[in-house]
């Protein structure tokens, strides 16, 4: 975090200061900000956020013992640390993030420099695109990007608060499960560049349908500052329909995709293998070969979005491609290769939606060669609401139509996949169902054989990412 006095901090979050001995309103604080006391070190700021499971106020003393310079609390706590008392710790976190980014921008402007803020949203691909773009931008200067999927009302501000006076790029990932959330988060920083990847069925239950999802994702475009730039997926009709919104914001549009409408950054000659995906990218008229090591054809679009953003920010296409090619995996539990050449496990069970489930199954079919066997280990897709049954049926149907040779479905919420697979012809033990991951693990330990290519895919709540880790270790 940029350096602020306690008085400046308290003013930014409209809090009441309770000083400990040795501190004054002019005491400077510049450490990291976190809501987890286990991550607090000397000089850091601890935010005591009440939670569903526990209450951060119970850990203020632990943060003080770890050397915290300050605690932001909703009620005073008996602990040897200066505290700023606020009505709502999460709201204070947002207010502080807004202030810190504004000051960092002002400081950069005074130096004749800029702090460029990029916001990324979409039903799928946010975290991968964020990681790819951050890898490219790191070669240009200090770049701050979220850890893992820090994209909600707590994670996004925590990322923003990591900016310093030296930061050149802030890459923010914006997720949402209800209307208005992206508007609130993006409104904290008013991005210079807003990237919209796709509008799909992820979280459709929370939004109330695909059109409501469109309006929620378009909130990022509405938040772009005047004179900024929207990076839009030309292949997605709903994303393309956001161009007039960008015009309303006096923002330009830069198009990426694989079709003819992708006039700025386009991919051709896509070839998918078990070791990655190759394609030719044309960026602003310059064509270059790309060898992306991240598994899955669907990640081509994420790479194009990253290239479109980076080149808009002044990175040459050649440098963008060279840095992209150093990325080995998108993120842990996202198309992560495990196991061995004998039995390859692809652990993609951090998140799942109908679109990402379809993409992962197609990738499994594409990368499995002659004499090898496809095995799909599938769990539930969450947050689909009234669409859950229909969408789980579609996955079961797709798995059969792709010729997946073993379909292993886990958990009662995913059972529709199994039933549909059986109904579509997988009745000779090609499809099996287990209530628990432990039962499935013991089955797979005896079932998997040399030449198997195994996809483990589910939403985070299903917990199958840990099953994927166990399988990877067992067949390493």
Give 295-327 pLDDT, tens digit per residue. Answer: 999 999 999 999 999 999 999 999 999 999 999
**CA angle centred on 45, ends 39 and 51, rounded to 5°:** 70
Tell me what pLDDT residue 238 has: 96
Return the higher-pLDDT residue of 136 and 330.
Answer: 136
Return the higher-pLDDT residue of 118 and 428.
Answer: 118
Instruction: Report whether 30 contacts 1 (CB < 8 A).
Output: yes
Tell me what pLDDT residue 204 has: 60
**CA angle centred on 283, ends 279 and 289, rounded to 5°:** 30
Return the higher-pLDDT residue of 325 and 351.
Answer: 325
CATH 3.90.190.20 placement within the chain: 336-474
Give 57-109 pLDDT, tens digit per residue. Answer: 999 999 999 999 999 999 999 999 999 999 999 999 999 999 999 999 999 99
Please report, in range form, the residues annotated as the binding site for ATP. Answer: 122-128
CATH 3.40.1390.10 placement within the chain: 4-87
In the structure encoding, which two tokens stand for residue 259, read together? 């079709």
Calculate what percentage of the chain has a pLDDT beyond 90. 85
- Average pLDDT of span 227-233: 97
> Which DSSP helix (H) or strand (E) runs through 276?
strand 276-283
**What is the spatial distance between Cα 208 and Cα 230, in angstroms, rounded to a whole number?**
25
Neighbours of 281 (CB within 10 A): 25
Q: Is the pLDDT of residue 206 over 70?
A: no
pTM over 0.75: yes
Would you state the CATH architecture of domain 92-324? 3-Layer(aba) Sandwich (3.40)
CATH 3.40.1190.10 placement within the chain: 92-324
**What is the spatial distance between Cα 102 and Cα 120, in angstroms, rounded to a whole number?**
19
Question: Alpha-carbon Rg of the chain, whole angstroms?
Answer: 24
**What is the spatial distance between Cα 368 and Cα 273, in angstroms, rounded to a whole number?**
8
**What is the spatial distance between Cα 451 and Cα 372, in angstroms, rounded to a whole number?**
5
Reduce the DSSP state of residue 243 to 3 states and report it.
Answer: helix
Q: Which of 32-46, 61-75, 332-346 has the lowest mean pLDDT?
A: 332-346
User: Quick one: DSSP state of residue 52?
Assistant: S
Please report, in range form, the residues annotated as the binding site. Answer: 122-128
Interacting residues of 58 by C-beta distance below 8 A, sequence separation 6+: none
Q: Is the pLDDT of residue 245 over 90?
A: yes
**What is the spatial distance between Cα 169 and Cα 166, in angstroms, rounded to a whole number?**
9
Would you state the CATH architecture of domain 336-474? Alpha-Beta Complex (3.90)
Q: Which of 45-59, 184-198, 235-249, 300-314 has the lowest mean pLDDT?
A: 45-59
Length of the chain: 476
Please identify, in words, the CATH class of the domain defined by 4-87: alpha beta
Q: Is the pLDDT of residue 30 over 90?
A: yes
Write out the DSSP string of 389-437: HHHHHHHHHHHHHTT-SEEEEESGGGHHHHHHHHHTT-TTTTEEEESSH
Return the higher-pLDDT residue of 101 and 275.
Answer: 101
Q: How many helices (H) and strands (E) does the chain have?
A: 17, 22
Reduce the DSSP state of residue 353 to 3 states and report it.
Answer: coil
């Amino acid at each position: 975090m940029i350096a602020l006095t306690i008085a400046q901090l308290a003013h930014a979050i409209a809090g009441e200061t309770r000083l400990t001995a040795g501190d004054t309103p002019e005491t400077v604080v510049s450490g990291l900000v976190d809501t987890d006391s286990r991550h607090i070190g000397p000089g850091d700021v601890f935010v005591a956020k009440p939670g569903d499971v526990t209450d951060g106020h119970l850990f203020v003393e632990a943060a003080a013992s770890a050397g915290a310079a300050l605690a932001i609390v909703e009620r005073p706590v008996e602990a040897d640390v200066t505290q700023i008392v606020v009505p709502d710790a999460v709201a204070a976190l947002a207010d502080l993030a807004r202030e810190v980014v504004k000051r960092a921008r002002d400081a950069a402007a005074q130096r004749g420099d800029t702090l460029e803020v990029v916001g990324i949203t979409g039903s799928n691909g946010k975290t991968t695109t964020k990681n790819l773009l951050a890898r490219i931008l790191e070669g240009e200067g200090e770049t701050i990007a979220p850890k893992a999927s820090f994209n909600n009302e707590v994670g996004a501000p925590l990322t923003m608060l990591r900016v310093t006076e030296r930061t050149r790029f802030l890459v923010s990932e914006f997720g949402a499960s209800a209307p208005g959330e992206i508007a609130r988060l993006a409104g904290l920083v008013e991005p210079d560049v807003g990237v919209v990847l796709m509008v799909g069925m992820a979280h459709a239950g929370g939004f109330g349908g695909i059109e409501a999802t469109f309006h929620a994702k378009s909130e990022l475009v509405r938040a772009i500052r005047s004179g900024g730039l929207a990076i839009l997926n030309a292949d997605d009709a709903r994303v393309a329909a956001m161009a007039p919104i960008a015009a309303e914001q006096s923002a330009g549009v830069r198009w990426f995709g694989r079709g003819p409408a992708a006039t700025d950054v386009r991919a051709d000659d896509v070839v998918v293998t078990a070791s990655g995906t190759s394609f030719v990218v044309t960026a602003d008229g310059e064509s270059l070969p790309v060898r992306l090591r991240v598994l899955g054809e669907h990640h081509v679009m994420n790479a194009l979005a990253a290239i479109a953003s980076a080149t808009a920010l002044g990175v040459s296409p050649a440098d963008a491609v060279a840095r992209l090619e150093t990325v080995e995996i998108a993120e842990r539990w996202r198309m992560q290769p495990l196991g061995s050449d004998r039995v390859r496990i692809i652990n993609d069970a951090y998140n799942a939606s109908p679109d990402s489930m379809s993409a992962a199954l197609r990738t499994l079919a594409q990368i499995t060669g002659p004499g090898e066997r496809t095995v799909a280990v599938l769990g539930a897709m969450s947050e689909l609401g009234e669409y859950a049954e229909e969408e789980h049926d579609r996955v079961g149907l797709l798995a059969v139509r792709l010729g997946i040779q073993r379909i292993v479905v886990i958990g009662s919420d995913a059972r529709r996949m199994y039933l549909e697979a059986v109904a579509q012809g997988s009745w000779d033990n090609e499809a099996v169902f287990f209530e628990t991951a432990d039962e499935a693990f013991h089955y797979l330990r005896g079932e998997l054989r040399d030449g198997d290519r195994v996809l483990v895919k589910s939403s985070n709540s299903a917990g199958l990412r840990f099953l994927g880790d166990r399988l990877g270790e067992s067949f390493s």
